[in-house]
Chains A and B, each alone.
Chain A
Amino acid sequence: MKSVPRQPDSALPSISPNPVASMPTVRVDAQDGFRKVILRLVKGEAERRAIDAGQVDAILDPASGSAILLPQAQRALLDRKVGLRNLLGLAFDAHWEQDEQHRFVSYDGTKEAGQRLAADHPIGAFLWDLPTDNMSAEDWRTHRQQLTWRTPFRDLELHRHDANGAQRQFALSGEPVFDEQGQFKGYRGVTREITGHRQVESLLAQPRSHAHVTLDVLPNPVAMLDAAGTVLLTNRAWRALASTQDGIGAGVFEGASYLAACDEMQGAQRIDALALGAGIRQVLAGARERFDYDVDLATPAGRRWLVHSVSAVASDGAERAVVSLQDITEYKCALGLLELDLTVAHALAQDAGAAVAIPALIGAVCQSQGWDCGRHFSLDASTGLLCAGPSWGVPGTAVEQFLQASHAMVVRPGAGLAGRAYASGQPLWVIDGISAPAVSASALAAETGRGGAFVFPVTADGKVTGVLAFSGKGVCAPDGRMLQAVQSIGCQLGRYLQQQAALAALRQSEQRFRQLAELGSDWTWELDRQSRLTQLTGSHPFGTGDLLGKTLSEMANLVLDEAKWEAHLAQLQAHWSFCDVEFGVRHEDGRLGRYCISGAPLFDAAGVFVGYCGTGLDITERWPAESSVSHESNGELAS
């Protein structure tokens, strides 16, 4: 409840329902009678002239000691009072009067809103009899004390619910009324409905509230710093982080200095804290608009990455900075696994053989995950056992000893960690006593080495062909993404080994074929699409020099049967196989050698012709016999 010093009399105009009732006037009904009264009272010439000119408002009656208001002035005064009431109605919602006992004797609402407070017919009632929501007994006692002291009151705020259940606020102002003898006659005052004002004030107060609410729903920790680095504003996520985490920002709430916390940081995160503080200072100084800094945290639950983003903002005309934190652990892990996948693929793509590729793969996995060492176990088909193969380990005596001890290790499928992973086809892990279901960590201590172990199968075409077993202190329980990654790695290695095996078989087959070909011919050859030599091995008759790139017809000292050669070229163009195409070579000593070649066309996987391959045979010694037989045959055929 408010009270203010008494206002000047002119501040609240008279609101009497009968504005002329309280004035000392003489009511004159007839115009003639009125003029007689005037002439009786006014004797002076100047006064009479003024009256005749209509320039007089009132005449004083010495007999009664009162003023007589002339009709024109009366009308004007009434009009003025009505006008004032209308103005009052524009300024206020209602006006009222109370008697000496503070009971309402009038309550005139000029607007619907003003009537709402008087909905209970307040005439004859006390103000404190009206139902209100906000006034306590103590409040009313204070107000009534003011009335007892006859002091004006201003903006007494009353809250009540209207007929529709909506709460409305009203402000009442009143002043005491005294008669000519100074006798207290009651109070008069006005009522304003201030519901709209309060709603506007509430709306005006909302921006800050909106900011808080908006910040609080953000999942990432956010804080606003002033130019000195003091925290002005935080959201719920920030407060939760500051109250639970160790390291940068721990315990830094609103009012604390974030920069001081960075400067005073000790331990493993000191370098990060100093770098972050320097970046924040640059942003606050306007040297940069934004500063991002990744912090790598080692927590009991594993590594976490938090990126601190500092952005400059201008608020209330002052430079400020908004610090937001984002946990990018999942992103970092996913990125690391993607990089690992690429590294594995790169290692396997090198044409260096399994003895090099597998240790490279194991090394990439260990370095990516922080593991100490890894081994590859593959199934020996002849014995049905898993045999330890290529391995990789970080430098260190303990790791080297562990790998050395397991160098010739043989594991039966279903036994041990590697054997169980092989038999089940599922990844298994042991982490300092915590293990995958059905795995005893203590029983496998000798196999896993120091810390934990993580074993996952190597597969090809859906079949398990071996396992990769990793050991080290950095082994932790894999999440879904990690399990997906090791499955991919196991498949890549399985396919690689399958390809390597197929390639080895192909090489062996090719080797056998070559050996057989060499036994039945003197040389082998290969041609490209243009029938140019690309390979020539064995005892060929073409001498020395740069022969590759030449066609057979470009060879020196070649003796050809034109008709036969034309037929042979037609075969080549048609990509047909040919057999025993004969030709002669005049050697340097003048001897004529006789030779024959056989060949078959080569096609790629798409069926496109890529050249020829074939063999050559020296038939010089048998040629005369074959020639005579041929001539005889030809003769027989001719006869």
Chain B
Amino acid sequence: MMRRKKIAPKASGPAGDRQLEMILYVAEGGPNSVQAVANLEAICAQHLKGNYHLEIIDVLQCPQRALADGVLVTPSLAKLFPSPAAKVVGNLSDTGSVLRALGIAGTAA
């Protein structure tokens, strides 16, 4: 079963701008997956201010979806938009790597 999380854009964002789109593949209940969700939530709250779209997919429920997207391990974070696409593997505890993958380089805390 897919688990989706959508966060509406803030009014402060430019009208018509597309949001940052991401997919986080997890094994729900797994310790690293739980950690990855928490780390990503913190990064989004600090750096993206709600201006993003995140989809979380439980590979235990939807393995075919992950395989179709070329994901082999979880947790994995895939950045879909804006280009270029990027992928981060692991529990996302390395904030700098995550920010660079998301194109928010130089703002790491």
Contact = CB atoms under 8 A, between A and B. Distances in A.
Interface of A: 9, 23-25, 41-42, 44, 46-47, 49-51, 53-60, 62, 65-67, 69-70, 72-73, 76-77, 80-81
Contacts of A62: 67, 72
A465 B71 CA distance: 131
B30 A55 contact: no
B73 interface: yes
Interface stretch (B14-22, B42-50, B87-95): B87-95
A60 B63 CA distance: 7
Interface string B18-55: 00000000110111110000000000000000000000
Contacts of B93: 55
Contact of B72 (A41, A65, A66, A76): A41
B90 to A, nearest CB: 4
A56 B63 contact: no
A90 B26 CA distance: 29
A50 B73 contact: yes
Q: 7 closest A-B pairs (Cβ-Cβ)? A: A57-B30, A55-B90, A73-B30, A58-B27, A57-B27, A50-B90, A50-B89
Given A47-B73, A49-B89, 14 more contacts: A44-B72, A49-B90, A50-B89, A55-B89, A55-B90, A56-B74, A56-B90, A57-B33, A58-B60, A58-B74, A60-B63, A65-B67, A73-B32, A76-B30
B31 A72 contact: yes
Given A44-B72, A46-B87, A67-B27, A57 B64 contact: no
Contacts of A9: 1
B102 interface: no
B59 interface: yes
A345 B56 CA distance: 108
Nearest to B92: A55
A67 B32 contact: no
25 contacts: A42-B72, A46-B89, A49-B89, A50-B90, A51-B73, A54-B32, A56-B89, A56-B90, A57-B27, A57-B33, A59-B73, A60-B63, A60-B71, A60-B72, A60-B73, A65-B63, A65-B64, A67-B27, A67-B60, A69-B30, A69-B60, A73-B31, A76-B29, A80-B29, A81-B29
- The secondary structure that dominates the A interface is mixed
B78 interface: no
B99 interface: no
Nearest to B31: A76
A66 B63 contact: yes
Given A60-B66, A67-B59, A55 B72 contact: no
A59 B72 contact: yes
B70 to A, nearest CB: 10
A582 B66 CA distance: 160
B69 to A, nearest CB: 10
A59 B72 CA distance: 6
Contacts of A50: 73, 89-90
A43 to B, nearest CB: 8
Contacts of B26: 57
B60 to A, nearest CB: 5
Contacts of B74: 56-58, 60, 67
Contacts of B67: 60, 62, 65
Nearest to B33: A57
A54 B33 CA distance: 12
Contacts of B1: 9
Contacts of B31: 57, 72-73, 76
A193 B34 CA distance: 35
Interface string B69-109: 00111110000000000011111010000000000000000
A47 B73 CA distance: 7
Contacts of B73: 42, 47, 50-51, 56, 58-60
A50 B94 CA distance: 11
Contacts of B66: 60, 67
Contacts of A70: 30
A60 B29 contact: no
A73 B58 CA distance: 14
A25 B1 CA distance: 15
Residue in A47, A51, A57 with the greatest tally of chain B CB atoms within 10 Å:
A57
Contacts of B87: 46
B72 A73 contact: no
Contacts of B30: 57-58, 69-70, 73, 76-77
Contacts of A47: 72-73, 89
B39 to A, nearest CB: 11
A80 B1 CA distance: 19
A236 to B, nearest CB: 65
Given A42-B72, A47-B73, A67-B27, A56 B32 contact: yes
Contacts of A51: 73
B78 to A, nearest CB: 12
Contacts of B90: 49-50, 53, 55-56
Contacts of A42: 72-73
Most chain A CB inside 10 Å of its own CB: which residue of B33, B73, B91? B73
